[in-house]
Amino acid sequence: MKKFKLINLRRERRAFRVSNAVKRYSTRPRLCVFRSNKHIYAQIIDDNAGKTMVSVGTNDKDLRGEISFGGNCEAARKVGEAIAKKALEAGIKQVAFDRHGYLYHGRIQVLADAARNAGLDIGAASDNYTEEELAARAAKKAKSGGKKKVDKNEQKAGKASGQNRAPVKKK
């Protein structure tokens, strides 16, 4: 239990740090994301007024029928599209993305990309690979077997197996 409390404490510290950086350096409204195991929520907040302008979640009445389970990437994609649609209807075109301490990976990245593709300006995408490039990268990885190539000299020295120190002499 202590381990999970520490993990959550670290995430809260990251969230505080990321959110404050977004608030401090941006004049745009903030697109804040919260992720749980079963659902994902997004809201656009105007920090100057201290008001939530638009909010969407997987348990909203509009999305509940479309989504079978709220804790996957497909649900995040629907939430991203819905938040962008509501924001554009409200006249919000530019937002600052607040990942709230979560890694920009998986559901968080899918939500951001879906909002960006639906017309919301949240900045440049991290890596926009086409499907052909992704297939080529996967084929290359499968061909190499996912193993790191090791130089023969490093292998002789023992560095490939993680032995970076000198051998200990036995008495």
Pair of tokens at residue 73? 């990437």
Which residues is 44 bridged to in the sheet? Answer: 31, 54
pLDDT of residue 72: 94
Per cent of the chain over pLDDT 90 is 50
Residue pair 160/135 in contact (Cβ under 8 Å)? The answer is no
Which residues is 54 bridged to in the sheet? Answer: 44
**36-48 residues labelled b (16+ CB within 10 A) or e (exposed):** eeebbbbbbbebe
pLDDT of residue 20: 86
Domain ranges of the chain: 2-117, 129-160
What is the per-residue pLDDT across 88-124, written as a single tens digit (0 to 9) for each? 999 999 999 998 888 899 999 999 999 999 999 987 7
Pair of tokens at residue 108? 């968080």
pLDDT of residue 133: 67
- For residue 1, pLDDT over 80 is answered with no
Fold of 2-117: Nucleotidyltransferase; domain 5 (3.30.420)
Which residues is 121 bridged to in the sheet? Answer: 94
